[in-house]
Amino acid sequence: MLKSLFLSIRQATVELAAPLSPEDMTVQSMPDASPTKWHLAHITWFFENFILKPHATGYEEFDSEFGFLFNSYYYSVGSMYARPRRGLVTRPSVQRVFDYRKHVDEAMVRLLEANPTSDVMFLASLGLHHEQQHQELILTDLKHLLFQNPMFPRYRQCVRSSMRESTSMNWATGKEGIHEVGFKGNGFCFDNETPRHRILLSPHAMADRLITNGEYREFIQDGGYNNSELWLSDGWAKITTEEWKKPFYWHDDLEREFTLNGLEAMDLNTPVTHLSFYEADAFARWAGCRLPTEFEWEVYTDGQTTQGNFVESNSLHPQARTSKDTQVFGDVWEWTMSAYTPYPGFQPLEGSLGEYNGKFMSSQMILRGGSCVTPQSHIRATYRNFFYPDARWQFSGLRLAKDI
Amino acid sequence: MLKSLFLSIRQATVELAAPLSPEDMTVQSMPDASPTKWHLAHITWFFENFILKPHATGYEEFDSEFGFLFNSYYYSVGSMYARPRRGLVTRPSVQRVFDYRKHVDEAMVRLLEANPTSDVMFLASLGLHHEQQHQELILTDLKHLLFQNPMFPRYRQCVRSSMRESTSMNWATGKEGIHEVGFKGNGFCFDNETPRHRILLSPHAMADRLITNGEYREFIQDGGYNNSELWLSDGWAKITTEEWKKPFYWHDDLEREFTLNGLEAMDLNTPVTHLSFYEADAFARWAGCRLPTEFEWEVYTDGQTTQGNFVESNSLHPQARTSKDTQVFGDVWEWTMSAYTPYPGFQPLEGSLGEYNGKFMSSQMILRGGSCVTPQSHIRATYRNFFYPDARWQFSGLRLAKDI
Amino acid sequence: MLKSLFLSIRQATVELAAPLSPEDMTVQSMPDASPTKWHLAHITWFFENFILKPHATGYEEFDSEFGFLFNSYYYSVGSMYARPRRGLVTRPSVQRVFDYRKHVDEAMVRLLEANPTSDVMFLASLGLHHEQQHQELILTDLKHLLFQNPMFPRYRQCVRSSMRESTSMNWATGKEGIHEVGFKGNGFCFDNETPRHRILLSPHAMADRLITNGEYREFIQDGGYNNSELWLSDGWAKITTEEWKKPFYWHDDLEREFTLNGLEAMDLNTPVTHLSFYEADAFARWAGCRLPTEFEWEVYTDGQTTQGNFVESNSLHPQARTSKDTQVFGDVWEWTMSAYTPYPGFQPLEGSLGEYNGKFMSSQMILRGGSCVTPQSHIRATYRNFFYPDARWQFSGLRLAKDI
Amino acid sequence: MLKSLFLSIRQATVELAAPLSPEDMTVQSMPDASPTKWHLAHITWFFENFILKPHATGYEEFDSEFGFLFNSYYYSVGSMYARPRRGLVTRPSVQRVFDYRKHVDEAMVRLLEANPTSDVMFLASLGLHHEQQHQELILTDLKHLLFQNPMFPRYRQCVRSSMRESTSMNWATGKEGIHEVGFKGNGFCFDNETPRHRILLSPHAMADRLITNGEYREFIQDGGYNNSELWLSDGWAKITTEEWKKPFYWHDDLEREFTLNGLEAMDLNTPVTHLSFYEADAFARWAGCRLPTEFEWEVYTDGQTTQGNFVESNSLHPQARTSKDTQVFGDVWEWTMSAYTPYPGFQPLEGSLGEYNGKFMSSQMILRGGSCVTPQSHIRATYRNFFYPDARWQFSGLRLAKDI
C-alpha cells in the first residue's frame, strides 16, 4: 500500500509538469522560488539520498553531481549550489531529470516491495509528504514566473464555477480554558507538530469564513494602504518601500487578478489571497479585529473534516464559499498572529532530517489550513506552515478573530 | 515629587552628555543608532509635543521646525526626517538643543507645580520612562560610534572591580502549572506589559546565573561559528554573510573587548554581551539547553528585588557575579525564545502614543531584565524589551534554560 | 546577391543555436547578457520593425506583443521589457521564435526579390551587420551562462590545433604625423566610423603580436593583482571589491581555462582573453608600456587584410600565432586607451536608428580588430567596438604600445 | 616669498572654516564628500608626510595615528581609513586638528626660512596647490551637507550684485589647424597638463558666454528630462533611476535655488550650475550644438587673462555676466566632451605623488576654467579638472560649441 501511495504521489508530480515546456521548467523568477526542474530533481534526490543510498543494498547513484545541484539546505549532507542561482543550471536537461526520476522510482519500488524496515517506511512517508510540499511550491513558484510575462499566460485550463452570492460572516465563540494541541495519533506528522501539549486559551471569537476579495477591496478603497495607523512598523516600511497598493496578483484596475488560468475578472466573493502577513494584520485592525492565534485556529477546527478546495479540484484558485462551509481547510493558508516557535519539549528528528523544520524557527509566522494548491491528503488540523511576514507568493489569506 | 523626579531624570541625561564634544554628539554611525544630539532633542520634543502643546496654556513652541526634525516614528503626529539621516543635521547646534531643553524644562516645571491633572501626570511619567530608554540608547549608540574610531577612544573613566573567581552554575526548577504574568499594581508600566493574564508553564529549569565570556569563548574555540547544525537558518545566513566570528565588540585576539572605558583585557568571568539572538540561541544549543521563554523568566524572578549592576554603578559594562547573585536584573538584557507579540486582550494607548510599542510586534524577540546601562528605576520584572534577532549593539547576553 | 547574403547570414545564426536545448536558449545569466532566444527574436524584430513594417506593402505583423518583448533600447520605437528580465519570459517558446524567424525571412526574401529601393538595401545591410553582432553576443552570453554550471559543460566540439611554440615580440615603429582615419569607400560601415578625418599621431611603437596567457600569468605571479601602483583607481577598486585575481574564465589553478569546448588545459602561447580594460591597462604598465590609441591601431593595420581566427574556424577561442602573424584581426578584441567619443562632425543616422551607436558615447573604451567569435565579413580596420572598462565576458585582450 | 605664499594660503583655509561649528566640520553627507575637519587635517598631513618627514631634520611627527586617518588615496604611503567612513571619526576633535595645523605650519616655516632645496620648494608649491583644491572641495562638500538640512541654512553672508540683463550669445570661430596645448612656462603645473604637444583642431565655433539658468529652464519646460532622444544612454538611465528633473540645487518650483547664502530666488541670467555631464550634454543636443573639446576650449582662451568670479569675490555662486565678459575663467567649471586621458608621452610624478592625477584617467570627463569657489591663483588655461559624468555637487556648467 505504501508502494501504491508512492506511485500515485510521484505520478501526481509528473502530471503537474505536463503542461509545461522545458523553458517553463528551467527559469527561476526570484531567489525564493525555484524552477520546476529543480523541484522535480530535488524531491527525487531526497529519496535517493535519505533512503536509497543508506538503505538499498547495491543501489547505484544516478549521477554524483546531483547531490551538489539538488540538495536544498541540508548542510550536514554537504555543500550545495546557491539557491538564487538554481535557474542558471540549464544542464542537466529536463529530460535527464525525468530519467533520474525513473531511475530512483524503480529502485524505490524494489525497496518497497521487499519487506521494508519501519525506518524505510517512515522515511518513505516523509519523502512523500516532502514531495507534496514541493507539488504546492511547483504551482506557486510557477505562478510567480508566469506573472513576469507581460502576456500573462495560462498554466492550464482550470475549473471555474459560476459566481456565488456573498454570505454573511458569523462568529463562533472560542472555547475557554485548557486545551490540547499538537499531533495525536498514529499517522504521519512533522516534528514541529509535536509534542502534543496543553495550552490555555482566553475567551475569543472566530469568524466562520474567510475574508473575500470584495471586503479587501473595501479596505483598499477606504485608504487602507495609506493609513500608517493600521500597520505594523515593519509592514508600513515594506509597503512604502515596495509601493504595495494591493494583493500581489491583483491588476491595477482592482477588477482583475492573475490566476493559473490567466488574467481573470475578480470574483468579489472569492477569498482574497496572496497577502503578506502585514496586509492580513492591517486588514484585521481596520476591521476592528485581529488575526487568530495558531491555537485558537487549531481548537476551532475540532471535529471538522479535511474537506475543501484542494489541488485535486483543479480550480487552482480559492472559491467563493457555499452557505455553511467554514473554509478552514483548503482555499487559502490562513495567517495567524503566532510566530513560528518550538512547542515545549520539541525535539527535531535525528541527523540531517533534523534540519527539515526546526532551524527555520525564527522571524516567521504560522499559517494554517492548506490552500487550493495543497494536496488534500497532505493537510491536518495540526499542520504548521510558516513563512516570513512579507511573503506573498503563496496562496495566503485570512480569517478574523477577536477577543471577547 | 513628580517634579523632583522630573528634574533628576532630566539632569541624569545631561550628565551622560557631559564627557562628549559637539563632534561626538552629532555623528550617526549606523541607521539603527542616533546621534546623542538627536536623543537630547527628541526626548525633549516628547514633552513638548505630548504634554506642553496640548496641556500647558500659553506655552510657546521653541522652534516650529523641531517637530519635523525630532519626531521619531509617530506617523500620526506628522512627517519626520528620515532616521538614517539624523546624523546629517549639523544645525541646530548642540548648544541650541540644550537651550531647547532648558525652555521645555522650565515650562514643564511650571506645569508640574500647578496642580497637574492626572492625564498630565501620567504623560509626564511616560515621558520620563521614555527618557530613561533614551539614556540607555545614548550609551549604546555612542559605544557603536566610538568603536568606528580606529583608536578605540574611551567614553569616560568607568569603575572597574578586581576580577572575581568563576562560580558554578546551578539550576532552579521552574514552577509548573498556571501562573499570572504581566503588570500588576499602581506604578507605571508600558502598555505592552498588559493585561495581566494567566499562562501555563511546562516543567523546566533555569540557570541561576548568566553565561560568561569564558564559556562563550569555549563555544568559539570549539568551532561554534563553523558548525551549521547549531544555528537557526537565518542565523547561519547572517554569520556567513557578515563573517561574524565573535561577539560584536570582541577583539580578534579573543583576549580583549571594547568597552565604554576603551579597549580592555577580557574578564572571563564577566557575562558575555553584545550577542545577537542567533548567537545566544546557538550557544544554548551547543550547551544542550535552550533559551528561556519570557514567561519562564518572569516567573523565575518572583520575589527578587531589582538589585544589580545598573548605569548608576558607572561600570557601564557587565560584572562578574558575586557568589549568590542570580543576575536577573542589570548586567545584560537576556534574550528569550519568545517572539514579541501582544498579550491576550492587549490594547495600545489611545492616540499617537499607541504607536509607542504595539506597532513593533513583528519579527522581534523579547529580552528581559535590564542591563549595565539601564537606569535602575526603569526596570521591572514585567518589563518587555524587544529587538530584531540580529541586533548586537545593545548589552544583550543570555541565561540557559531547559526542559525537564 | 543581397538576398543570398541575407539567407546565408540568417542561416549562420540558426547553426549557432543548433547545439542548444530550449533550456540553454531561455536562461539569462546576468543583466548584461541575453538569452539566445532573445537574440534570435530581437534580430528578427529588427528586420520586421525597420524594414518590413515601413517598406513591405501588405506585410502582416507576426505578433503584436513581440515589439515590446524584443526591442532592445530603441526608445523612440516604444517601450520595452526590462533588459535584466529577459530571461524570465519562458513564452513565446523557442519553437515559436523560430516560426517568427521563418515568417520574417519569407517576407524579407519577397522584398529583396522585388527590386528593392536603395533605402531597403541599406537597411537590410544594416540588419545583417546587426545580426552578425548578435551572433558574437550569442556565443559570449552563452559562454557566460555555461560557466555558471558547476559541471562546466561544452557548447560544441571545437577545433583545436596542436600547441605552438612561443614567438618573440617585435616592435613596429608607428608612423609619425598626420593620418586619415575613419571609414572610406563604398561598402557598409556604422555611423560611428565617420566622418573620415585627419588626426595627428605622435611617434610611437606597436607590438607585432598579442599578449599571451604565459605572459599574463607572469604578471599574476609577480603580484600584479596585489600592487596598487599598477592600477587605475577605478580598476583597483573593482578588483578589490570583486576579488578579481585572474582573467574571467581562468581556473584557480592558473593551469586551465573555461572555453566553449569545456574546461581545458591552458596553452601559454595563446593570446590571453576575457580581460577588463583595467587588467589590460595594468598589465601594460607592469610591462613598462601602455595600450595603443585607437588611431595608432588603425594606422598600424594599414595594408593588412582581414585574415585571422574568426568564428568560421570553429576554434571559438584565440589561437597561438604562427610566426609572422600580426594578429590584428580575429582572436581577441584589443583594448585601446581611447575613450569612445564621436569623431569631429559625427552625425548619427536619422530617426530611431540614430540610437544604434551614438548614445553610448560615454564611459566606454574602444576595442579594435574582432575576435575568434566574430564573423570574418563583419570586421574592418575602421570598426569601433566599445565596452565599459570593467567588462570581461567578451573575448577581449591586448597588444602593447609605447612612446618613442 | 614662498613662505609668505604658504602663510597666506594656509590662512585662507582657516578663514573658510571660520563660520563653521565643530558639528558642521565633522559630518560627512555622502561618500564622495569629506568633512571639513578631514580636509583641514588631510592637507596638513600632505605637508607633513611628503615634506617634513623626509626633508626636515629633527621633525617630530605630531601624532602617529594621523597618517592612517588622513591619507586620502596614496596606497604607496600605506593603508588608510575608508573614505565613506571619514565622517565617523569624531576624535581627534576639530580643536586638535587646528593644533596639528599649527604644529606643521611652524615646522614648515622653519624649513622654508632655511634656504630650502629646490625639491622642497617644488613640493611646497605642490602642497599649496593641493590645499587650494581642497579649499574648493571644502565649500562644495559643505554645500552638499547644508543642503541635507531641511532648514536650508546659510554658510555665511555672501556678496550679491543686483540682477543684470540678459545678453545675447555670439559665436567665435575656432582656429583651424595645428595648435599646441599643455603647459608651457616656468610656473607650477600638475603632471597631467604635460607634455605640451601639438594637436589638430577641426573647424568649429565657440559660444562667447555660459548657458544661463533661464536657458536651462527653457530646456526643462520643453520636456528635456522626458525626451530620451536628447540623452546619452548612461545619462538616461541615471535621470530615470534617480528621478532627476532639474539641476542638483534647484527647488522644485524652478524659481529658487539653494546657495551657500541659503535658499534664494533664481536669477535667470546667472550661469546654470551643478549639472552633471549628462545634463550638459543633453542641453547641448537640445540646442542643436555640442560641448567643446578640451582643446577647443584651451585654444579659445588664448590671450585671455585669468579674470573672473572666483572665491575671493565672496559671491560663492556664479554671476550674470557683464556685456563683454567671455566667462572662461571662474563662475562654473565647464564640461567638455573630452574624456580624461593622458597626453602623449605623459609621465606621472615619481613615487607616491605619481598617484596624484594619473591613476584617475578612466571614466571621467574633463572640465575647464575654474569656478566661483576656486582661488584665482589656482587656475590656468591649461588646467584639467576631471569628474565622473554623473557628478553634480561641483560648480559645473556649460558653454556651447558646434562644428562649422
* B357-369: pLDDT as tens digits: 999 999 999 999 9
Instruction: Please report the ipTM that was assigned to this predicted complex.
Output: 0.94
- Rounded to whole angstroms, the Cα distance separating A36 from C23 reads 12
Mean pLDDT along residues B66-82 = 85
pLDDT score at B183: 97
* D274-298: pLDDT as tens digits: 999 999 999 999 999 999 999 999 9
To the nearest whole angstrom, how far is the Cα of B24 from the nearest Cα of chain D? 5
For chain D, list the contacting chains (3+ Cβ pairs, <8 Å): B, C
pLDDT score at C6: 98
Q: Which of A88, A93, A156 to mutate to test the interface with C (most CBs of C within 10 A)?
A: A88
Report the chain A residue with the minimal C-alpha distance to residue C87.
Answer: A27
Mean pLDDT along residues A103-124 = 96
pLDDT at D355 over 90: no
Mean pLDDT along residues C34-45 = 97
Query: How many percent of chain D have pLDDT more than 90?
Result: 88
Mean pLDDT along residues B62-70 = 93
Mean pLDDT along residues C363-385 = 97
Mean pLDDT along residues A362-367 = 97
Mean pLDDT along residues B230-241 = 96
pLDDT score at C140: 98
Q: Which of B25, B29, B88 to mutate to test the interface with D (most CBs of D within 10 A)?
A: B88
**Residues of chain A contacting B360 with CB distance shorter than 8 Å:** 232-234
* B85-112: pLDDT as tens digits: 999 999 999 999 999 999 999 999 999 9
Among the ranges given (A74-78, B285-289, C104-108, D67-71), the one the predictor scored with the smallest mean pLDDT: A74-78
Q: Which of B276, B284, B311, B294 is nearest to B369 (CA)?
A: B294
Of C73, C229, C338, nearest to D233 by CB-CB distance is: C73
Of D27, D93, D94, nearest to B88 by CB-CB distance is: D27
> Between chains, do B90 and D65 touch, taking CB under 8 Å as contact?
no
To the nearest whole angstrom, how far is the Cα of B395 from the nearest Cα of chain A? 21
| CB burial readout A250-272, b (16+ within 10 A) else e | beeebebbbbbbeebebbbbbbb
pLDDT score at B303: 85
> Between chains, do A229 and B338 touch, taking CB under 8 Å as contact?
no
Which of B46-51's residues contact partners 24+ apart within 8 Å by CB, and which partners?
B46/B127, B46/B130, B46/B131, B47/B104, B47/B108, B47/B124, B47/B127, B48/B104, B48/B107, B49/B77, B50/B123, B50/B126, B50/B127, B50/B352, B50/B353, B51/B108, B51/B111, B51/B120, B51/B123, B51/B124, B51/B127
Of C232, C359, C362, nearest to D389 by CB-CB distance is: C362
pTM of this prediction?
Answer: 0.95
pLDDT score at C146: 97
pLDDT at A307 over 90: yes
Of B75, B202, B359, nearest to A232 by CB-CB distance is: B359
Average pLDDT, rounded, for chain B: 95
Report the chain C residue with the minimal C-alpha distance to residue D353.
Answer: C229
Q: Do C233 and C285 form a contact (C-beta atoms < 8 A)? A: no
- Rounded to whole angstroms, the Cα distance separating C268 from C320 reads 8
Of D26, D89, D148, nearest to B85 by CB-CB distance is: D148
Grid coordinates belonging to C96:
515559436
pLDDT at B181 over 90: yes
Mean pLDDT along residues C17-36 = 97
Between positions 320 and 349 of B, the ones with CB within 8 A of A are: 337-339, 341-342, 344-345
Mean pLDDT along residues D84-103 = 96
User: What is the full DSSP assignment across C185-237?
Assistant: SSS---GGG-S-EEEEEPSEEEESSPPBHHHHHHHHHTTGGG-GGGS-HHHHH
The confidence band for B239, taking pLDDT boundaries of 50, 70 and 90, is very high
pLDDT at D356 over 90: no
> Between chains, do C22 and A27 touch, taking CB under 8 Å as contact?
no
Average pLDDT, rounded, for chain C: 95
Grid coordinates belonging to D140:
562644495
pLDDT score at C400: 98
The confidence band for C186, taking pLDDT boundaries of 50, 70 and 90, is confident
> Between chains, do C178 and D198 touch, taking CB under 8 Å as contact?
no
The confidence band for D367, taking pLDDT boundaries of 50, 70 and 90, is very high
Query: How many percent of chain A have pLDDT more than 70?
Result: 100
* Structural element, H or E, at residue A264: strand A262-265
Q: Which residues contact B1 (CB under 8 A, 6 or more apart)?
A: none
pLDDT score at B267: 95
To the nearest whole angstrom, how far is the Cα of B232 from the nearest Cα of chain A? 4
Of A231, A355, A363, nearest to B363 by CB-CB distance is: A363
What does residue A141 show for φ and ψ, rounded to 5 degrees?
-70, -40
**Interchain CB contact of D363 with C (< 8 Å):** yes
> Between chains, do C361 and D232 touch, taking CB under 8 Å as contact?
yes
The confidence band for D118, taking pLDDT boundaries of 50, 70 and 90, is very high
- Rounded to whole angstroms, the Cα distance separating B319 from B330 reads 10
Q: Which of D283, D299, D277 is nearest to D365 (CA)?
A: D277
Please name the residue that has the C-alpha cell 577647443: D296
Rg (CA), chain A: 21
pLDDT at D176 over 80: no
**Residues of chain D contacting B21 with CB distance shorter than 8 Å:** 22, 90-91, 93
> Between chains, do C236 and D75 touch, taking CB under 8 Å as contact?
yes
**Residues of chain C contacting D75 with CB distance shorter than 8 Å:** 228-229, 236
Grid coordinates belonging to C6:
541575407
Report the chain D residue with the minimal C-alpha distance to residue B81.
Answer: D150
Of B21, B150, B151, nearest to D93 by CB-CB distance is: B21
> Between chains, do A341 and B338 touch, taking CB under 8 Å as contact?
yes
Mean pLDDT along residues D189-203 = 95
pLDDT score at D141: 98
pLDDT score at B76: 80
Among the ranges given (A23-37, A310-324, B64-78, C204-218), the one the predictor scored with the smallest mean pLDDT: B64-78
Of D68, D94, D150, nearest to B150 by CB-CB distance is: D68
Grid coordinates belonging to C281:
591597462
**Interchain CB contact of B5 with D (< 8 Å):** no
Q: Do A375 and A135 form a contact (C-beta atoms < 8 A)? A: yes
pLDDT score at A382: 98
Classify burial at D77, counting beta carbons within 10 Å of its beta carbon; exposed 0-12, middle 13-18, buried 19 or more: middle
**Residues of chain A contacting C88 with CB distance shorter than 8 Å:** 27, 29, 145, 148-149
Q: Do B142 and B35 form a contact (C-beta atoms < 8 A)? A: no
For chain C, list the contacting chains (3+ Cβ pairs, <8 Å): A, D
For chain B, list the contacting chains (3+ Cβ pairs, <8 Å): A, D
Average pLDDT, rounded, for chain A: 95
pLDDT score at B73: 78
Mean pLDDT along residues B281-307 = 96
pLDDT score at A53: 96
In sequence order, what E strands does B84-241 have?
171-173, 177-181, 197-201, 204-207
pLDDT score at B241: 95
Report the chain B residue with the minimal C-alpha distance to residue D87.
Answer: B27
Please name the residue that has the C-alpha cell 492580513: A280
pLDDT at D44 over 80: yes
**Residues of chain A contacting B235 with CB distance shorter than 8 Å:** 362
Query: How many percent of chain A have pLDDT more than 90?
Result: 89
- Rounded to whole angstroms, the Cα distance separating B355 from B349 reads 8
> Between chains, do C23 and A93 touch, taking CB under 8 Å as contact?
yes
pLDDT score at A355: 84
- Rounded to whole angstroms, the Cα distance separating D94 from B149 reads 15
**Interchain CB contact of B232 with A (< 8 Å):** yes
- Rounded to whole angstroms, the Cα distance separating B311 from B368 reads 16
Report the chain B residue with the minimal C-alpha distance to residue D20.
Answer: B90
**Residues of chain A contacting B31 with CB distance shorter than 8 Å:** none
Of C76, C202, C360, nearest to D197 by CB-CB distance is: C202
Between positions 185 and 214 of D, the ones with CB within 8 A of C are: 197-200, 202, 204
What does residue D55 show for φ and ψ, rounded to 5 degrees?
-120, -15
pLDDT score at C313: 96
pLDDT score at C174: 81
The confidence band for A350, taking pLDDT boundaries of 50, 70 and 90, is confident
Three-state SS across B176-217? CEEEEECCCCCCCCCHHHCCCEEEEECCEEEECCCCEHHHHH
pLDDT score at C390: 98
Please tell me what DSSP assigns to residue D210.
P
* Structural element, H or E, at residue C361: none
Of D90, D93, D149, nearest to B89 by CB-CB distance is: D149
The confidence band for B310, taking pLDDT boundaries of 50, 70 and 90, is very high
pLDDT at D81 over 90: no
